Amino acid sequence: MTGICEGRVAIVTGAGRGLGREHALELARQGAKVVVNDLGTSLGGDGASRGPGAEVVEIIRANGGEAFSNGADIADFAQAEALIAEAVETFGRLDILVNNAGFVRDRMLVNAEESEWDAVIRVHLKGHFAPLRHAAAYWRSEAKNGRMPVARVINTSSGAGLQGSVGQAAYAAAKGGIASLTLVAAGELARYGVTVNAIAPSARTRMTEGAFAEKMAAPADGFDRMDPANVSPLVAWLASPGSHAVTGRVIEIEGGRICVEEGWRHGPARDAGRRWRAEEVGDVLAELIAESVSPEPIYGA
């Protein structure tokens, strides 16, 4: 297999199904050697199975590519470290980390259980941090030893984390955290030859079939905008050496539409040159809010 990622080594987490599966297959089509990480849990994060990941590996190998499966729990710090080490030991290097794994336990805020919150934050937010932290340590070591990486990290945020989503407090908080983590990592890792970006995909997966049922209908024009495979070419390009000038970005993609998100940035301001009096604040904020851009409505509002 040849392509824009020829000879590169990639880890894709949550690669047994949905978006992760398509990312792994596309990276392999583009010439990458792929570590297919998948714990094989249910939609709610229960159980485990090596079957989905092994199936993806079989497809890649049948098409002439190189891959192996890994069943690490990427939110477990030690298992995430072992995942990075196994990739390097097996393929001799690591160039690409695609953080994709996750599940949902949607609940209105007033009904949310502590265990549900903890589980979602763990798999999404810590599940991004742990592999990223260990991959970053590897790339820093490479750079310090005179082997400057051309490394790429692609994280997975969501419109729920950027604009908010009713009934998804934990998921939205985790995905918003991933967007912020992306900015920090991009700033810190540039010196080691690493770019860090995030995608905010909209596609048909186990996590979205219930939330966006109206989008899942058969397309009248024949273009299935919700096919998860639509997202993966963007991931492959971000994983390639040619994306060196793009870092610290969050990019939304749905079907054939790509949108660069514009996140928090300084807007209108007033400086009194002294401490504000409490009775003054209301009028000042009213003026500033009138001058600012209104937030987009949250999903489901």
The residues assigned a catalytic role are 158, 171, 175
Token pair 């995942």: residue? 83
Which tokens sit at 88?
A: 């390097």
- Write the CA distances from 111 to 118, 120, 169, 170, integer angstroms: 14, 15, 11, 12
Q: Do 22 and 228 touch, CB atoms closer than 8 A?
A: yes
7/254 Cα distance (integer angstroms): 29
176/159 Cα distance (integer angstroms): 9
Residue 174: phi, psi to the nearest 5? -65, -45
Q: Where are the beta strands (DSSP E) in the chain?
A: 9-13, 33-37, 67-70, 96-98, 151-156, 194-202, 250-254, 257-260
Residues 6+ apart with CB under 8 A from 74: 13, 14, 37, 39, 80, 83, 99, 101, 123, 127, 130, 131
Which residues partner with 68 through β-bridges? 35
197/245 Cα distance (integer angstroms): 11
117/106 Cα distance (integer angstroms): 9
Give the residue among 183, 187, 192, 179 at the shortest CA–CA distance from 135: 192
Which tokens sit at 160?
A: 């729920």
Classify residue 19 as exposed, middle or buried by CB count within 10 Å of its CB (0-12, 13-18, 19+).
Answer: buried
